[in-house]
Amino acid sequence: DIQMTQSPSSLSASVGDRVTITCQASQDISNYLNWYQQKPGKAPKLLIYDASNLETGVPSRFGGSGSGTDFTFTISSLQPEDIATYYCQHYDNLPLTFGQGTRLEIK
């Protein structure tokens, strides 16, 4: 199985800050990497697919980059409604696996 390692595991930032989360795969996954947002008590929501493509309807302050084993998720200007846990997930092969999550809080 491909292991996905996210960092940090938790993050506190102020409204308006630029926020960055990293995800490292245990082997080359090309750009087969997605990012999800999960708010408390809710299902995950797909934000970014193919490492850098914004899902329809997702605000442009969210972004992603990377390929191979190292990936980055960015919120350019943190908003109060962005408080959530964020997960990366690969789909290079099966089984699909997720990172352990990054919990984002407002400072």
Partner 1 sequence: QVQLQESGPGLVEPSQTLSLTCSVSGGSISSGSYYWSWIRQPAGKGLEWIGRIHTSGSTNYNPSLKSRVTISLDTSKNQFSLKLSSVTAAETAVYYCARDSLYGLDVWGQGTTVTVSS
Q: Taking CB under 8 A as the rule, does residue 100 contact partner 1?
A: yes
Q: Taking CB under 8 A as the rule, does residue 42 contact partner 1?
A: yes
Q: Taking CB under 8 A as the rule, does residue 46 contact partner 1?
A: yes
**Residues paired with 6 in a beta bridge:** 23
Kindly tell me which residue out of 14, 16, 60, 94 binds partner 1, with binding defined by CB under 8 A: 94
Q: What is the DSSP string of 80-101?
A: GGG-EEEEEEE-SSSS-EE---
Q: Report how far residue 73's alpha carbon sits from residue 89's, in angstroms, rounded to the nearest whole number.
A: 12
Query: Binding residues for partner 1, per CB under 8 A?
Result: 1, 34, 36, 42-46, 49-50, 53, 55, 87, 89, 91, 94-101
